[in-house]
Amino acid sequence: MTITILPEARPLTRDDYARAYQDGYNKTVRFLASTGAPLDLAEEVAQAAWVRGWERLSQLRHVQALTFWINSIAKNLLRSSFRKQQLSTELLETTLITNPLESEPIDAHRMFDGCSDNEKELLHLYYRITAAVHRAV
């Protein structure tokens, strides 16, 4: 049995990483978008993942797996983003339930004066549909 010692892989330089970013950024965005993330969020998370990858480059074990590694970072960042969004939505709902808004008189005429005709029509339609749904329930 012969044991072959492989030469140690050359670490990525700044230029290597920049080239990998140029080649891989759009792939990371497409990967995130394929999971259902909106395009603007996918772009933001992909950017953050490539930055985090650069910051933690010493943790990369195989240079050939760079894109896979970045995509796994991006997936984890996306999950964190969804969790934060869900928690903030739940917190807002909980806050509104436990601390309902004070029912003080609202000067609707003054509020509607600042609306365009289209906005007034949309508000009217919204309240008609909402009222119909509440009557049906």
The whole-number pLDDT of residue 28 equals 96
Give the predicted TM-score (pTM) of the model.
Answer: 0.58
Q: How far apart are CA 137 and CA 130, in angstroms?
A: 11
The whole-number pLDDT of residue 4 equals 45
Please determine, for residue 124, whether its predicted confidence score (pLDDT) is greater than 90: no
**Tens digit of each residue's pLDDT (9 = 90 or more) over 80-92:** 988 887 776 666 6
Lowest mean pLDDT among 55-59, 91-95, 98-102, 114-118: 98-102
* pLDDT (average), residues 124-131: 79
Q: Are 131 and 123 in contact (CB under 8 A)?
A: no
* pLDDT (average), residues 67-89: 88
Q: How far apart are CA 29 and CA 70, in angstroms?
A: 11
Say what the alpha-carbon torsion angle 24, 29, 34, 36 is, to the nearest 10 degrees.
Answer: 160
**Tens digit of each residue's pLDDT (9 = 90 or more) over 10-55:** 678 899 999 999 999 999 999 999 988 899 999 999 999 999 999 9
The whole-number pLDDT of residue 3 equals 46
Average pLDDT of the chain to the nearest whole number: 81
Give the tokens for residue 3. Answer: 């044991």
Nearest-10 crossing angle of helices 14-34, 66-98: 50
Amino acid at 136: A
The whole-number pLDDT of residue 90 equals 65
The whole-number pLDDT of residue 47 equals 96
